Amino acid sequence: MWEDFKKFALKGNVLDLAIAVVIGAAFGKIVTSLVEDIIMPAVGILLGGFSVEDWTYTFNGAELRYGAFTQSVIDFFIIAFSIFMVIRLFTRMKRQKDVPAEEEPEVLDKKEELLIEIRDLLSKEKTGQ
Protein backbone atom coordinates (compact mmCIF):
# COMPACT_ATOMS: atom_id res chain seq x y z
CA MET A 1 0.00 0.00 0.00
CA TRP A 2 2.84 2.41 0.84
CA GLU A 3 4.45 1.87 -2.57
CA ASP A 4 1.15 2.57 -4.34
CA PHE A 5 0.71 5.75 -2.31
CA LYS A 6 4.25 6.93 -3.16
CA LYS A 7 3.61 6.29 -6.86
CA PHE A 8 0.38 8.28 -6.66
CA ALA A 9 1.72 11.15 -4.56
CA LEU A 10 4.88 11.59 -6.58
CA LYS A 11 3.21 11.61 -9.98
CA GLY A 12 3.78 14.79 -11.92
CA ASN A 13 0.06 15.58 -12.09
CA VAL A 14 -0.38 15.51 -8.31
CA LEU A 15 2.65 17.73 -7.75
CA ASP A 16 1.51 20.13 -10.48
CA LEU A 17 -1.93 20.30 -8.89
CA ALA A 18 -0.47 20.98 -5.44
CA ILE A 19 1.70 23.76 -6.81
CA ALA A 20 -1.26 25.22 -8.70
CA VAL A 21 -3.38 25.25 -5.52
CA VAL A 22 -0.68 27.08 -3.54
CA ILE A 23 -0.05 29.61 -6.29
CA GLY A 24 -3.79 30.03 -6.84
CA ALA A 25 -4.35 30.74 -3.15
CA ALA A 26 -1.57 33.34 -3.13
CA PHE A 27 -2.90 34.92 -6.33
CA GLY A 28 -6.41 34.93 -4.84
CA LYS A 29 -5.14 36.90 -1.84
CA ILE A 30 -3.45 39.43 -4.12
CA VAL A 31 -6.57 39.92 -6.22
CA THR A 32 -8.81 40.10 -3.13
CA SER A 33 -6.57 42.80 -1.69
CA LEU A 34 -6.63 44.64 -5.02
CA VAL A 35 -10.43 44.60 -5.01
CA GLU A 36 -10.97 45.42 -1.33
CA ASP A 37 -8.14 47.90 -0.79
CA ILE A 38 -7.82 49.69 -4.13
CA ILE A 39 -10.66 49.17 -6.60
CA MET A 40 -13.70 49.39 -4.31
CA PRO A 41 -12.43 52.44 -2.35
CA ALA A 42 -11.71 54.14 -5.69
CA VAL A 43 -15.25 53.30 -6.86
CA GLY A 44 -16.58 54.68 -3.58
CA ILE A 45 -14.63 57.92 -4.10
CA LEU A 46 -15.91 58.23 -7.67
CA LEU A 47 -19.48 57.73 -6.43
CA GLY A 48 -19.11 60.33 -3.68
CA GLY A 49 -18.46 58.08 -0.69
CA PHE A 50 -21.15 55.59 -1.68
CA SER A 51 -20.68 52.13 -0.15
CA VAL A 52 -22.74 49.10 -1.10
CA GLU A 53 -21.51 47.16 1.92
CA ASP A 54 -23.48 49.37 4.34
CA TRP A 55 -26.88 48.45 2.89
CA THR A 56 -29.05 46.79 5.54
CA TYR A 57 -32.69 46.03 6.11
CA THR A 58 -34.11 45.54 9.59
CA PHE A 59 -37.21 43.40 9.99
CA ASN A 60 -38.59 42.51 13.44
CA GLY A 61 -35.21 43.10 15.04
CA ALA A 62 -33.34 40.96 12.51
CA GLU A 63 -30.78 42.76 10.42
CA LEU A 64 -30.40 41.62 6.83
CA ARG A 65 -27.03 42.75 5.52
CA TYR A 66 -27.76 42.44 1.80
CA GLY A 67 -25.14 45.08 1.10
CA ALA A 68 -22.38 42.75 2.29
CA PHE A 69 -23.76 40.05 -0.02
CA THR A 70 -23.94 42.51 -2.93
CA GLN A 71 -20.35 43.55 -2.22
CA SER A 72 -19.27 39.89 -2.25
CA VAL A 73 -20.95 39.39 -5.65
CA ILE A 74 -19.21 42.48 -7.04
CA ASP A 75 -15.88 41.26 -5.61
CA PHE A 76 -16.44 37.85 -7.22
CA PHE A 77 -16.97 39.34 -10.67
CA ILE A 78 -13.91 41.57 -10.39
CA ILE A 79 -11.77 38.66 -9.16
CA ALA A 80 -13.12 36.31 -11.84
CA PHE A 81 -12.40 38.90 -14.54
CA SER A 82 -8.87 39.44 -13.19
CA ILE A 83 -8.14 35.72 -13.20
CA PHE A 84 -9.61 35.42 -16.71
CA MET A 85 -7.29 38.15 -17.97
CA VAL A 86 -4.21 36.54 -16.38
CA ILE A 87 -5.08 33.12 -17.83
CA ARG A 88 -5.72 34.72 -21.22
CA LEU A 89 -2.31 36.41 -21.07
CA PHE A 90 -0.57 33.12 -20.18
CA THR A 91 -2.45 31.30 -22.96
CA ARG A 92 -1.34 33.86 -25.53
CA MET A 93 2.27 33.64 -24.35
CA LYS A 94 2.14 29.84 -24.50
CA ARG A 95 0.65 29.90 -28.01
CA GLN A 96 3.44 32.18 -29.21
CA LYS A 97 6.01 29.86 -27.66
CA ASP A 98 4.40 26.75 -29.19
CA VAL A 99 4.45 28.07 -32.77
CA PRO A 100 6.83 25.71 -34.55
CA ALA A 101 9.76 27.20 -36.36
CA GLU A 102 9.80 26.73 -40.10
CA GLU A 103 11.33 23.40 -40.89
CA GLU A 104 14.17 23.32 -43.33
CA PRO A 105 13.46 21.31 -46.46
CA GLU A 106 14.65 17.76 -46.19
CA VAL A 107 17.67 16.99 -48.34
CA LEU A 108 17.30 13.66 -50.11
CA ASP A 109 20.19 11.54 -51.23
CA LYS A 110 20.33 9.87 -54.65
CA LYS A 111 18.85 6.55 -53.45
CA GLU A 112 15.82 8.24 -51.94
CA GLU A 113 15.25 10.29 -55.09
CA LEU A 114 15.37 7.13 -57.23
CA LEU A 115 12.93 5.36 -54.91
CA ILE A 116 10.52 8.28 -55.14
CA GLU A 117 10.73 8.24 -58.94
CA ILE A 118 10.09 4.47 -59.03
CA ARG A 119 7.11 4.88 -56.68
CA ASP A 120 5.65 7.63 -58.85
CA LEU A 121 6.15 5.57 -62.04
CA LEU A 122 4.49 2.51 -60.48
CA SER A 123 1.52 4.56 -59.30
CA LYS A 124 1.11 6.00 -62.84
CA GLU A 125 1.10 2.47 -64.30
CA LYS A 126 -1.56 1.32 -61.85
CA THR A 127 -3.86 4.23 -62.75
CA GLY A 128 -3.32 3.57 -66.49
CA GLN A 129 -1.62 6.77 -67.43
CATH number at residue 30: 1.10.1200
User: Which residue segment(s) compose the domain that 10 sits in?
Assistant: 1-101
Q: Where are the alpha helices (DSSP H) in the chain?
A: 2-9, 12-33, 40-46, 66-98, 110-127
Query: Which DSSP letter does residue 55 get?
Result: -
In Å, what is the CA distance from 8 to each residue of 3, 16, 20, 62, 97?
9, 12, 17, 51, 31
For residue 6, being part of any structural domain is answered with yes
For residue 32, being part of any structural domain is answered with yes
pLDDT beyond 80 at 5: no
- Give the pLDDT confidence score for residue 100 in this predicted structure: 67
Percent of the chain with pLDDT over 90: 3
pLDDT class of 103 with cuts at 50, 70, 90: low
For residue 126, being part of any structural domain is answered with no
The pTM score is: 0.51
pLDDT beyond 80 at 11: no
For residue 114, being part of any structural domain is answered with no
Q: Tens of pLDDT along 46-80?
A: 878 777 888 899 999 899 989 888 888 888 888 78
For residue 124, being part of any structural domain is answered with no
- Give the pLDDT confidence score for residue 79 in this predicted structure: 78
Query: How far is 107 from 125, CA to CA, in rounded Å?
Result: 27
Number of C-beta neighbours around residue 79 at 10 A = 16
